[in-house]
Amino acid sequence: MHDGDRVGVYRRASLARRFEARVEQLAKSGEIPATLHMGAGQEVAQVAALAAMRDDDPMLYGHRGSAYWIARGMPLDSILCDIAYRDGGSNRGKGGPMHVVDVGRGVLGETGTLGGNLVIGTGVAYAEKYQRTGRVCIVFFGDGTANRGQFHEACNYAAVAKLPVIFFCENNGFGLSMPSNASSAVADLATRAAGYGMPGVVVDGADADAVHAAVASAAARARAGEGPTLIEAKVVRIGAHFLGDREAYRSTADKDDAKANDPLATLWASLDPETCAAIDAENDLLITAAVEAMRTRPMVAASTALERVYADE
Amino acid sequence: MHDGDRVGVYRRASLARRFEARVEQLAKSGEIPATLHMGAGQEVAQVAALAAMRDDDPMLYGHRGSAYWIARGMPLDSILCDIAYRDGGSNRGKGGPMHVVDVGRGVLGETGTLGGNLVIGTGVAYAEKYQRTGRVCIVFFGDGTANRGQFHEACNYAAVAKLPVIFFCENNGFGLSMPSNASSAVADLATRAAGYGMPGVVVDGADADAVHAAVASAAARARAGEGPTLIEAKVVRIGAHFLGDREAYRSTADKDDAKANDPLATLWASLDPETCAAIDAENDLLITAAVEAMRTRPMVAASTALERVYADE
Amino acid sequence: MSERTLKYAHAIREAMSAEMRRDPAVVLFGEDVGAYGGVWGVSRGMHVEFGDRVFDTPISEDLIVGMAVGMAMRGMRPIAELQYADFVFCAGAEVFLSAATYRYVHDGAFTLPMVVRMACGGGGFGPEHSQSTEAYLMHTPGLRVAVPSTPADAYGLTIAAIRSDDPVFVLEHKLLYGMSGIVPDDHVTELGRAVVRRAGTHCTIVAWHDMLRRALAAADLLDHDGIDVEIIDPVTLNPFDFETVATSVRKTGACMVVEEAPRTLGVGAEIGARLMEEAFGYLDRPLVRLAIPDVPVPTAEHLVDSLVPSVDDIVAAARGLVGKR
Amino acid sequence: MSERTLKYAHAIREAMSAEMRRDPAVVLFGEDVGAYGGVWGVSRGMHVEFGDRVFDTPISEDLIVGMAVGMAMRGMRPIAELQYADFVFCAGAEVFLSAATYRYVHDGAFTLPMVVRMACGGGGFGPEHSQSTEAYLMHTPGLRVAVPSTPADAYGLTIAAIRSDDPVFVLEHKLLYGMSGIVPDDHVTELGRAVVRRAGTHCTIVAWHDMLRRALAAADLLDHDGIDVEIIDPVTLNPFDFETVATSVRKTGACMVVEEAPRTLGVGAEIGARLMEEAFGYLDRPLVRLAIPDVPVPTAEHLVDSLVPSVDDIVAAARGLVGKR
Ligand SMILES: Cc1ncc(C[n+]2csc(CCOP(=O)(O)OP(=O)(O)O)c2C)c(N)n1
Ligand SMILES: Cc1ncc(C[n+]2csc(CCOP(=O)(O)OP(=O)(O)O)c2C)c(N)n1
Ligand SMILES: [Mg+2]
Ligand SMILES: [Mg+2]
């Protein structure tokens, strides 16, 4: 990445971090529901990955945080309205923050049950290839999700059919309370790629350049018709699984470790502090404005609950 | 294997082959239903694998052929009655040849949908370990089945929990009409084992000694508490997927090749021809007797259909 | 030529082929649908005409249905085949969760013009390859469910399913694949319109698939006794044209549902409950449900035959129902 | 001590713990049930007492249920937890095919003494984490289905489920986990016996889980108007004690079913159909079904509230039903 790109990653990752801190405050105060899974520690990898893709490349995101949407330029107030079940969001209370959507920006939503993203993303990739759009689909998911059957079925088929898809695994060391080393005997989930005949790459999720490079080369490969890549980014989960999880299962040392290895701090340290400070000031204005905008919006009308089950509605 | 063991494998594998030929005749004549998937080409691997296990080690078998049951010493007439839906079989028409069962001999049946065997077998292995029986569970399945999600979930968990189970994949080059190289980009399915942190072994399914050795060492490993092994035996499917499959999708060369590489013929060639001839004469007597016995049995009573859904019935 | 005589399986093949010729967004895939032509021979030969638009997948049911969802989201019109209707459970999360809710939960950002075809019913294959799973699907908002019972509807419903912008699950009946019938060209069956297959006055019988065929045969026998039944084929179960059933019952005052699925919470339960809600005054006798008693489907055909409603069962039940007047 | 006051979640924990103390064949497993104590806190602390008899699995639902089948086949009494009742579809093949048919298809060679516990209902989690999937399970021969609605039954049904030699699916309701109530020691709830939770004369209401709580609240309001309803809790849906419902309806002449699932082919459909078959003469008014209209469960609580039958809805419907006499 160029320096400018790295600053761009910082701008978006830091916005996500600060935005989520504000969401947490609002949720704790009871103003909005506490349903977002916080992304702290994973934003740099998420944003750097998307920075290596085209803006119209379809993505199925994971449930961890807001950086995916921010990276694609979705307005903060729209995201906040989805979280708050207010008018002005993308799914009018139907899906809340799990199902933010913006087709024009390639934000194709998410399945509520883990693993669905991978098979659906494979279908999306099939369609891109069939229609020769030149687009590549990226699917984000966690280490825990990599143990679902869908992971297997999707990776295997995408590889043999050489579909343009990137399976991007964010290994944050936990699937809710379960440490990755208890849920699988293999240290690097990327080694599974060999069992499907596709490349598997492990990257340090705190290294924006490394993530960017890995995704850029996977995307190039996919666009060249050579098929999928499994990328495993080692990231840290700085916060709890969700608000309300007291993390009794997690050692203080592990939590401290995660904080000490905060990828955003690492990225910040590699950049000019004044630039970063200026960006963060701008970001805070955006956040304030989004909160204001959200507050002007009413809760979505209950009647929406009956709409859009079927196509003619 | 000792010479004697090799003869034992021949006895059972050849019995399965000849028995199935007779089943095919009976089915074509309309005397019994044509529901068995023929095992020709895979019997040597199946029998050799089971010869390396204890007789009370639990097994979930695949849908291909009768050798699994014969290897465990189930009476032929019982097997034939299951195929024919007659009294005297093990499941009284409920399950037919897909669900032959003999708990005392460790024959634990099979799921009708592919892949179920692997997760259920993992549970069986859990129970053996928990109860410290010293037993090891063996699960047979095909190359096609290795692409189901259950394969993944079972392999991953069995490995991390170090369960005493052997996943024995019979790669016969086809999942029904689909060549293995079209259903997966990986040449050896056993390479998938690395992605679960367990050993993966490829063996020539025509080499009874190699199969026996691989299973024996996997069983020893499992019994020592070191966990599962994925064994892939390369076998040939000499016949069609089932009776009635005309194999239009398969080249004559491939069919000829399978016949030319018949593992049973290879085994036969390594043994004394007179011994083999004597065995086959004995086998034929067993088969004739089983057919006679089956013919004396009535069709199972329709009332059985209402029984044994629940435990108190 | 304005009509043809086709077998049910052939009619489905013709329908898929016609749509594939018309619309390049349509593709067909599943296990063994290509060179093999599908385990039921429905797509036999299609790969020759359509090349890799008819393609085989590995044995990965979650993938098959999940992929259809993804393709449909991106402008394609996938037709996915599951070899058996029981396999909706092998793709359980993708059928009952993803396909059913992906549009709704994203508030209409996507339509899901996808078809899942599968073979149901019959005997000889055991409890995991014989089920008629329509009731499970019908209980799931978001999924359309079609149950063609004639070659004409096999054709017309397949066309309609492909053109529909919703996920449509088409249950094809194994014992009907070989049934011949007249198929009008360009026939598109309307989703949500039941058909009176036989007009009558003494009681209403609702049946589809092989049970419809049996009900029609029973009607002929009953006719000899002077019992004149009206037979309704629902054609689709979601949408369900209850009005046609209610109209009939208001006339006959009696209703029987015949189905090849477990009795408890079979489709007959819904028909019964709705009759009770909406045609209460008109019923002068209890509902009769003929169905599989609540046991799994065994393997042996003669066991299956003992469980599934037969022509004789229908005749006897109709006599009882009409006699009770 | 002959009884205790416990919360519903705590009662389940006590029941599992009691059985685990009594019978070493019992183990508990699922996602996050160990150190975390389960996403609903039901097993909190159990891993301390029981060590690795309470263990976490990877996120692999087919494995969780399939493993329970295999363990049950070999003499254990596994309790598997699925985090949400919707996840029966994530383990679709193992729930609806393996667990339901493995005994039958092998003609009784195995019993399957396994329990699958899961949380259903409520709002705030979206359509893949909020469903009450009992109707799907009830349509499946081979599976027992329990729906505890009080702390006492949460205890007694959990014990009974563990001791049962059949696969029992226990749907625990999220909104009831915090409900307190008296739990008699050594209470074992009988599978297949419905309970009259309130005796009354004007109409029969069948409800369970949170809908039972709402029905009871509605009954108090209706009482002020001089409307006296009888409320039946089915306790288990398979076996289903229809006789108790029929007896009540023969007395009241009117029936309403309230449930937190899609209306079409919800449990109410079966109750309606059976009433029509077996208590036909006694009904003098149409059945009323209060249920979720046929849409997926949205995420926002206030949307969910607008769909799920409320106390007011029950009051209004009961007034209508009784007024129609
Ligand atoms: C099929 C399925 N099982 C379980 C859940 C509940 N659940 C939601 S997030 C989560 C943990 C996921 O872990 P991972 O994939 O590592 O992602 P992370 O939360 O660590 O980002 C679980 C168990 C679910 N939504 N779907
Ligand atoms: C889940 C599931 N999908 C599909 C089928 C239908 N089916 C039965 S056998 C078979 C082929 C299996 O291939 P493989 O595992 O390689 O075993 P083989 O038949 O070659 O021995 C198929 C597709 C099934 N029974 N279950
Ligand atoms: Mg994780
Ligand atoms: Mg094979």
- Tell me, in angstroms, the distance from the centre of ligand 2 to residue D80's CA: 28
Cis peptide leading into D239, omega within 30 of 0?
yes
Q: How far apart are CA A27 and CA D323, in angstroms?
A: 46
Residue in the block written with tokens 């021809």 = B273
Q: For D126-150, what is each residue's pLDDT tens digit?
A: 999 999 999 999 999 999 999 999 9
C187 assigned to active site: no
List of chains touching C (3+ CB pairs within 8 A):
A, B, D
- The beta-carbon neighbor of D67 closest among B122, B128, B309 is B122
Contact C139 D276 (CB under 8 A): no
* Nearest-CB residue to C62 (from B144, B149, B177): B149
Query: What values do phi and psi take at A279, rounded to 5?
Result: -60, -45
Q: Write down the pLDDT at residue C42.
A: 98
Closest CA to A214 of A236, A245, A193: A193
**What is the 3-state composition of chain C as percent helix, strand, coil, each rounded to the nearest 5?**
40, 20, 35
Nearest CB among D87, D126, D139 relative to C135 is that of D139
Decide if A195 and B198 are in contact by the 8 Å CB cutoff.
no
Closest ligand 2 atom number to CA of residue C90 = 1
pLDDT digits (tens, 9 = 90+) for A212-238: 999 999 999 999 999 999 999 999 999
Question: Does A124 contact C73 at a Cβ distance shorter than 8 Å?
Answer: yes
Q: Which residues of D are catalytic?
A: 129
Tell me: pLDDT of C325 over 80: no
Nearest to D128 by CA among D177, D63, D84: D84
If you ran DSSP here, which 8-state letter would residue A262 be given?
Answer: -
Q: Report the 3 state secondary structure along A209-256.
A: HHHHHHHHHHHHHHHCCCCCEEEEEECCCCCCCCCCCCCCCCCHHHHH
Q: Around Cβ A292, how many Cβ atoms within 10 Å?
A: 10
- The residues with which B261 forms a beta bridge, in sequence order, are none
Which residues of chain A carry a pLDDT beneath 50?
none
Q: Which of C193, C137, C161, C204 is nearest to C72 (CA)?
A: C161
* Spatial distance between the Cα atoms of B40 and B65, rounded to a whole number of angstroms: 7
The helix (run of H) or strand (run of E) holding residue B300 is: none
Angle at C297 (CA atoms; ends C44, A149), nearest 5 degrees: 65
pLDDT digit string, tens, across residues D211-263: 999 999 999 999 999 999 999 999 999 999 999 999 999 999 999 999 999 99
What is the model's pLDDT at position A37?
95
The residue among C33, C36, C310 with the most chain B CBs within 10 A of its CB, best to mutate, is: C36
**Tokens 């997966």 identify what position?**
B184
Mutate to test the pocket of ligand 1, among A43, A61, A98, A145 (most ligand atoms within 8 A of CB): A145
Task: Map tokens 């499994």 to a residue.
Answer: A230
Amino acid C1: pLDDT? 58
Cβ contacts of B165 within 8 Å, gap of 6 or more:
B121, B122, B124, B125, B136, B137, B138, B139, B158, B222, B228
Average pLDDT over residues B71-83: 98
Characterize the bridge pairing of strands C180-184 and B178-179. unpaired
Picking from A100, A153, A178, A243 by the largest number of D CB atoms within 10 A of its own CB, the best residue to mutate is A178
The beta strand positions in B87-199, using DSSP E, are: 137-142, 165-171, 174-175, 178-179
> Is this prediction's ipTM beyond 0.95?
yes
Q: Is C60 in the pocket of ligand 2 (CB under 6 A)?
A: no
Residue range D46-56, pLDDT digits in tens? 999 999 999 99
Strand D236-238 and strand D144-146: pairing?
Answer: antiparallel
Which residues does residue A258 pair with via DSSP β-bridges, in sequence order? none
Contact B93 C300 (CB under 8 A): yes
Question: Terminal CA-to-CA distance of chain C, rounded, Å?
Answer: 48
Smallest Cβ distance to D277: which of C104, C128, C287?
A: C287
Q: Is C120 helix (H, G, I), strand (E, B) or coil?
A: strand
One DSSP character per residue, A127-178 reads: HHHHTT----EEEEEETTGGGSHHHHHHHHHHHHTT-SEEEEEEE-SEETTE
- Among C44, C48, C59, most B C-beta atoms within 10 A, so best to mutate, is C59
Q: DSSP 3-state assignment of C56?
A: strand
pLDDT of residue D1: 58
Q: How far is C297 from chain A (nearest CA, A)?
A: 27
- Mean pLDDT score of chain A, rounded to an integer? 97
Instruction: Flag whether pLDDT at D325 surpasses 50.
Output: no
The encoded tokens of residue A196 equal: 């499907």
Mean pLDDT on D284-299: 95
Residues facing residue D7 across a β-bridge: D180
> Model confidence over C153-192: pLDDT tens digits?
999 999 999 999 999 999 999 999 999 999 999 899 999 9
B210 with B240: CB under 8 angstroms?
no
Is a pLDDT exceeding 70 seen at residue C23? yes
Q: Is the predicted pLDDT of residue D158 greater than 60, yes or no?
A: yes
Mean pLDDT of C50-74: 98
B311 touches chain C (CB under 8 A): no
Interchain contact, B118 vs D66, CB within 8 Å = yes
Percent residues over pLDDT 90 in chain A: 97
By the 8 A CB rule, do C244 and C255 touch? Answer: no
**Amino acid (one-letter) located at C201:** T
Q: Is D77's pLDDT higher than 80?
A: yes
Residues 6+ apart with CB under 8 A from D177: D7, D8, D9, D40, D41, D42, D119
For residue C143, the distance in angstroms to the closest alpha carbon of chain D comes to: 10
Q: How far apart are CA D245 and CA D288, in angstroms?
A: 14
Give the DSSP H/E element, type plus range, for residue B264. helix B263-269
> Which whole number is the average pLDDT over C299-316?
98
Rounded average pLDDT over B126-133: 98
Angle, helices A3-28 vs A76-84, to 10°: value is 30
Give me chain D's average pLDDT, please: 97
For residue D76, pLDDT over 50 is answered with: yes
Mean pLDDT, chain C, as a whole number? 97
Contacts of A122 in chain C (CB under 8 A): 63, 66-67, 70
- CB-based neighbours (< 5 A) of ligand 3, an ion: A 142-144, 172, 174-175
Q: Phi and psi at residue A172, in whole multiples of 5°? A: -100, 15
pLDDT for A243: 85
